Chains A and B, each alone.
Chain A
Amino acid sequence: ILNVEQSPQSLHVQEGDSTNFTCSFPSSNFYALHWYRWETAKSPEALFVMTLNGDEKKKGRISATLNTKEGYSYLYIKGSQPEDSATYLCAFLFNDMRFGAGTRLTVKP
């Protein structure tokens, strides 16, 4: 079984703080690593699709890096805002798409 691990499980930060989460995955037979944001009462929304070792992606204040050799990806949020509050899921594509349990972020005003 190919497990995807995310840490921390939950995170509470103040508005304006920068934060980061970790996703670790089996480093062999890598196809792609996805990050999704899942806000309460909405559907998960894709943030990034990463396929190459050393990939760095950025969307506004959110960025992600990928290390396929050691099997991890970091998601960074710079200057967190209350609207960033959500569960952040990573998913590892091998034969199918396997999700981690997510990091639940709460940003306090």
Chain B
Amino acid sequence: EAGVAQSPRYKIIEKRQSVAFWCNPISGHATLYWYQQILGQGPKLLIQFQNNGVVDDSQLPKDRFSAERLKGVDSTLKIQPAKLEDSAVYLCASSFPGTSPLHFGNGTRLTVT
């Protein structure tokens, strides 16, 4: 089966610029996650979708981050405006609902200068 697709793989922007990441989950996976992984820390959940509805976005900095999953398939995560502390790897994952394992994409490494 095709895996979780993410793009771009790398992105370098200046602070106060905007950036968008794209994720296409594994076909049939209703649950989609966006995680932020800062160097030396574990992945931090930003937002979880079930189909096109938001299950949890309690840790999403909503003043600058937004995410959508129109049609319940692929998803985009946007940061506007970016700050230096947003430099991280952004991981997208998908799974079947419940306790099923997560399948991760290769991630986007964002550097904000």
Contact = CB atoms under 8 A, between A and B. Distances in A.
B33 A97 contact: yes
A49 B99 contact: yes
A49 B106 CA distance: 21
Contacts, number: 52
A100 B104 CA distance: 16
Contacts of A32: 99
Chain A interface secondary structure, helix, strand, loop or mixed? strand
Contact of A99 (B4, B43, B55): B43
B28 interface: no
Interface residues of A, number: 24
Given A99-B42, A101-B41, 17 more contacts: A4-B42, A31-B99, A36-B102, A43-B91, A43-B104, A43-B107, A44-B43, A44-B104, A45-B104, A49-B100, A89-B43, A96-B45, A96-B48, A96-B55, A98-B45, A99-B43, A101-B42
Interface of A: 4, 6, 31-32, 34, 36, 42-46, 49, 51, 89, 91, 93, 95-102
